[in-house]
């Protein structure tokens, strides 16, 4: 191979390496608007059952804990952000948040906002969102900012 061919080969390899580095850096960062991703089905897991007036879902770097929570109808669930980033718990389906009856992203900022299963904004680290479940059934939810992070509340 002549020196011009080697030169082109090195240029081509350099471009490929730069593209790979760019893709790696962009996929690991949290800047920009996250692209919607389909929510994966929830694996079978034990479901703690809580009684009383309140229950807590802790949002960690690993996701929602517990991932599945069973509560009586009328229970207020606190979603507490213990991550180092903003999180936005909301009813499925991403991005409209309409699965929980009466909910919808379009109702954020309206008089109906207190009745929808949607934090309506990113919760800062340490911030909490409370929602009272008044409809029996299984209600799946996700983090609107990272939609593959998901959980479910089973209301009896």
pTM for the complete prediction? 0.68
Does the structure show a pLDDT above 90 at 13? no
pLDDT beyond 80 at 20 = no
Q: In this structure, what token pair is assigned to residue 64?
A: 């929602």
Quote the percentage of the chain above a pLDDT of 90.
65
Statement: residue 65 has pLDDT above 60: yes
User: pLDDT, tens digit, for every residue of 116-137?
Assistant: 999 999 999 999 999 999 999 9
| pLDDT given for residue 28 in this prediction | 54
**Residues in Cβ contact with 8 at an 8 Å cutoff, skipping those fewer than 6 apart:** none
CA dist., res. 113 & res. 119, Å (int): 9
Q: What is the 3-state secondary structure (H, E, C) of the chain?
A: CCHHHHHHHHHHHHHHHHHHHHHHHHHHCCCCCCCCCCCCCCCCCCCCECCCCEEEEEEECCEEECCEEEECCCCEEEEEECCCCCECEEECCCCCCCCCCCCCHHHCCCCCHHHCCECCCCECCCCEEEEECCCCEEEEEEECCEEEEEEEEEEC
């Amino acid at each position: 191979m002549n020196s011009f061919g080697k030169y082109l080969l090195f240029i081509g390899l350099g471009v490929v390496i730069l593209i790979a580095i760019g893709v790696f850096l962009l996929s690991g960062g949290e800047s920009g608007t996250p692209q919607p991703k389909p929510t994966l089905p929830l694996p079978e897991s034990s479901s703690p059952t809580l009684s009383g007036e309140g229950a807590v879902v802790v949002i960690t770097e690993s996701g929602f804990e517990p991932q599945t929570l069973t509560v009586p109808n009328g229970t207020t669930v606190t979603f507490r952000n213990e991550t180092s980033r903003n999180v936005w718990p909301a009813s499925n389906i991403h991005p409209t948040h309409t699965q929980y009856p009466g909910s919808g992203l379009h109702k954020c900022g309206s008089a109906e906002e207190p009745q929808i299963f949607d934090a309506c904004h990113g919760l800062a680290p340490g911030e909490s969102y409370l929602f009272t479940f008044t409809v029996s059934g299984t209600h799946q939810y996700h983090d609107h900012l990272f939609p593959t992070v998901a959980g479910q509340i089973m209301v009896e």
